[in-house]
Amino acid sequence: MAPLALVLFLVQPCDAFAAEPPAIQPDGSTRVVGTVRDTTGLPLPGATIEIDDSLAAVSDAEGRFEIDLVSGALYRATVKLPGFDPHGFVFEVSHGVRLDVVLAISRVREQIIVTAPSPEEAVARPFLLQPVQVYRTPGADADVFRALQTLPGVSAPDDAAGLFVRGGDVSEVLVSLDDAVIAHPYRYETPTGGFRGTVNPLLISGLSFSTGGFSARHGNALSGVLDLRGLERPERRQTVATFGLAGASASIAAPVGDRFGVRGAFNRTFTRVLFAVNGSPRLFDPPPEGWDGSAGFAWNLGRGGRLKGFALMQRDRIGVGIEQDAFTGLLRSSTTHRFAGTRWDGAVGRWTASASFGHDDYERSTNVGILDRTITDRVASWRIDLAAPPAGAVEWRVGANGSFTEASIAGRVPVRGGDLGGVSGDARFDAAVDDWFGGTYLEVATHAGPVSTTIGARADRFGLARATTLDPRLNVRIGLGRNHALRLATGVYHQAPSPSYYDRERGASRLPPMRALHYVAGYETGRETEGLYVRAEGFVKTYAHLPLEDDVRGYTADGFGSARGVDLFVQWLSSRLEVRGTASWLRARRRWTPVDQRERYDLPDGTWTPDFEIPWWVQIITRVPLSNGVSVSASWRSAAGRPHTPIVDGRAIGDGFLPVFGSVNSERLPRYERFDLSWSWLVPAGDGLVILFASVDNVLGRANFFDYIYAPDYASRQPVVNAAPRGVYVGVSLRR
């Protein structure tokens, strides 16, 4: 299903570009002119000028703007531009008045954060993004996960949105919203993740993403942690509506009194217009369609802290023609996903405290060939964190978290993984898993001159495995002058295996937690918010207790593996140009069995290259603000092709042929390359804002592919055709 990645998206409102809901602007009789410049004197195009909380103008290519206002009146003005500190002032309109505004580059990360960053972030250094950066990433289709794929250390073995972090599987990344676990963070799920994220940027204020060496605060994750932060109480009423080739969306937010606020959003996907514009060589029955609705609240309790909650419901369905090995047929799938979470932030005595609770309810039915399977998965999660007031150069943090899982997977599956035509026969699949995980952690952070250290440990209990683990963690930052630093990290990590390994017909009865050991060393120089910033990291990971198929016991924990590599991140930020470059080198080996590959291959001795090992990839993203609120962005990505296990022969059996595979992943598909463009235009409209946007994915129409389709007797093969080599998308967003 990888070719669908181009079409299964719904571009969301670019709310990060829009102004706050405005008041009524009076009719004007005097024209006020002005300019917006940075501290070096360079003009700043695209800055928004608000008059009494109403968007009045956007600076042009020379930083100039004009506004008609009432003579003799007093006005409050605010000038804003992402990456710069907003500037507010009060002025009186008189003949000849001129507004010359100077904006200073922000001294904090370009991220909207409603709660202070975790204290360990200064040492562990995760990547921090805000919604505006997601919207501005060409080729990301306004999706959080696709934007994260542009970061170093995250490989993309196909056009899906899955996060494969530093040689780890997509299932090894923990995803949470306000610390409530999202057990199924992808829509239109596939073995490589899904085609886009469950939570769109419209619903978050920022995110933190760690690609390794994360602190003891997080458990039950082997490779990475993605922590999404929900929105706080709206200060003013906001309404947004967006229309595009693939669907429409609307949202509203409003304060209720001085301390309470509510939000709501609804999205509807319809792809017929998109297919009419771009075309598709594939059969869709039905075409991709779905909807989602969300609601949230935020409540300022005064001395009692802050409380907020969020609920999301999504439904999708699709019917699409697919090819695998020599099989061609129609895959039909329908999904229902519900998520609810709540978070409290406050204080217990002198200690800073937070508590989170969440519930994730997921149902999916899939039918393709002889595979007919229904999955029901319910996960309830909880978390409590406490931080003591700093005592000199020492900070203490303690907490606990856990989850309860109730999973049911039932139906018919191929005896041999991937044999959708059923040449090798089918088997009953029946897994009913009740599991739980709980743990506690303790951390101490110390600061001595240029050296900052976080030492921590967590103890976890895994219910079904009947195992207790103890994971030490260490993070060190060594400052080398004002803008240089070395970072070191190491730690032990454990994670429970997927419920799919506990099939009562051919699965395991019990498996221990999987284990990973991280070593990370890095160097950084510069500032993330201005000028040149460079970050380089090398890493080594080892794996143990990975599931491995076994003829007698179903699966054992005899699997193991390793990964090592180097990640490079280079960024240049200025008022006239933004450039970001990433590069990664990776070597990964594993001996393990993914659930969907049971009995697919004859197990070789030792380790082999996993399906998601991409030895190298590079990406360059640039954004240029032009005149009158116009912005153009471009992205170029090139990567080694994904590994491929060739079929060298076909063995006749009954009326069909069984594939005879060569060595596991002994071939590699051709190099991947893609060039994307996007464009947006912010236009003031009365007391609101209109955002026009357009994008072209894979501008050069390169025929990237990720698999082969074979003849029925496996005597020949040809690449699987993509859904569309080039994709065009246009839309408009209205905000007031």
- Please report the pLDDT score of residue 49 as a whole number: 84
Exposure string of 37-57, with b = 16+ CB inside 10 Å and e = fewer, is bbeeeebbbbbbbbbbbbbbb
For 356, the token pair is 């989170």
User: Longest C-alpha distance within the chain, in Å?
Assistant: 93
> For residues 324 and 721, what is the distance between their CA atoms, to the nearest angstrom?
12
> For residue 220, is it left (φ>0), alpha (ψ between -120 and 50) or beta?
left
Least confident interval from 272-281, 617-626, 649-658: 272-281
- Please report the pLDDT score of residue 228 as a whole number: 93
Q: What is the pLDDT of residues 323-370, one digit of tens each?
A: 999 999 999 999 999 999 999 999 998 899 999 999 999 999 999 999
Q: Is the predicted pLDDT of residue 438 greater than 50, yes or no?
A: yes
DSSP state of 137: S
> For residues 221 and 171, what is the distance between their CA atoms, to the nearest angstrom?
9
- Please report the pLDDT score of residue 315 as a whole number: 95
Which CATH number is associated with domain 2-12+229-735?
A: 2.40.170.20
Residue 580: phi and psi, rounded to 5, are: -135, 130
**What mean pLDDT value characterizes the chain?**
87
Per-residue confidence at 184, pLDDT binned at 50, 70, 90? very high
Least confident interval from 118-132, 630-644, 681-695: 118-132
Q: Which of 135-149, 236-250, 268-282, 459-473 has the highest average model confidence (pLDDT)?
A: 459-473
Per-residue confidence at 699, pLDDT binned at 50, 70, 90? very high
Least confident interval from 269-273, 326-330, 332-336, 553-557: 269-273
Q: Which residues is 337 bridged to in the sheet?
A: 314, 362
Q: Where are the domains of the chain?
A: 2-12+229-735, 16-103, 110-228
CATH number for 16-103: choose from 3.40.50.300, 2.60.40.1120, 3.10.20.30, 3.10.20.740.
2.60.40.1120
Q: What percent of the chain has pLDDT over 90?
A: 60
Between the CA of residue 260 and those of 244, 368, 445, 506, what are the distances in Å? Answer: 33, 48, 35, 53
Respond yes or no on whether the N-terminal peptide bond of residue 286 is cis (omega within 30° of 0).
Answer: yes
Q: What is the pLDDT of residues 78-115, one digit of tens each?
A: 888 866 778 888 787 876 678 888 887 764 333 323 33
> For residues 378 and 542, what is the distance between their CA atoms, to the nearest angstrom?
30
- Please report the pLDDT score of residue 345 as a whole number: 93
Let me know if 89 is exposed, middle or buried by CB neighbors in 10 A (0-12, 13-18, 19+).
exposed
* Long-range contacts of residues 430-434, Cβ cutoff 8 Å, at least 24 apart: 430/503, 430/504, 430/505, 431/407, 431/499, 431/500, 431/502, 431/503, 431/504, 431/507, 432/407, 432/408, 432/504, 433/405, 433/406, 433/407, 433/408, 433/464, 433/499, 433/502, 434/405, 434/406, 434/464
DSSP 462-476: ETTTTEEEEEEEEEE
Q: Is the predicted pLDDT of residue 446 greater than 50, yes or no?
A: yes
Q: Is the predicted pLDDT of residue 7 greater than 50, yes or no?
A: no
Between the CA of residue 347 and those of 305, 352, 643, what are the distances in Å? Answer: 7, 5, 51
Q: Is the predicted pLDDT of residue 250 greater than 60, yes or no?
A: yes
The domain made up of 110-228 is a member of CATH 3.30.465.10? no
Answer for the pair 257, 220: CB distance below 8 angstroms, yes or no.
Answer: no
Q: Is the predicted pLDDT of residue 609 greater than 60, yes or no?
A: yes
For 399, the token pair is 């907490």
Task: Record the pTM.
Answer: 0.84
Answer for the pair 262, 212: CB distance below 8 angstroms, yes or no.
Answer: no
> For residues 46 and 38, what is the distance between their CA atoms, to the nearest angstrom?
13
For 325, the token pair is 């090995």
Beta pairing class for 173-177 and 224-230: parallel
> For residues 309 and 231, what is the distance between their CA atoms, to the nearest angstrom?
10
DSSP state of 391: B
Answer for the pair 265, 293: CB distance below 8 angstroms, yes or no.
Answer: yes
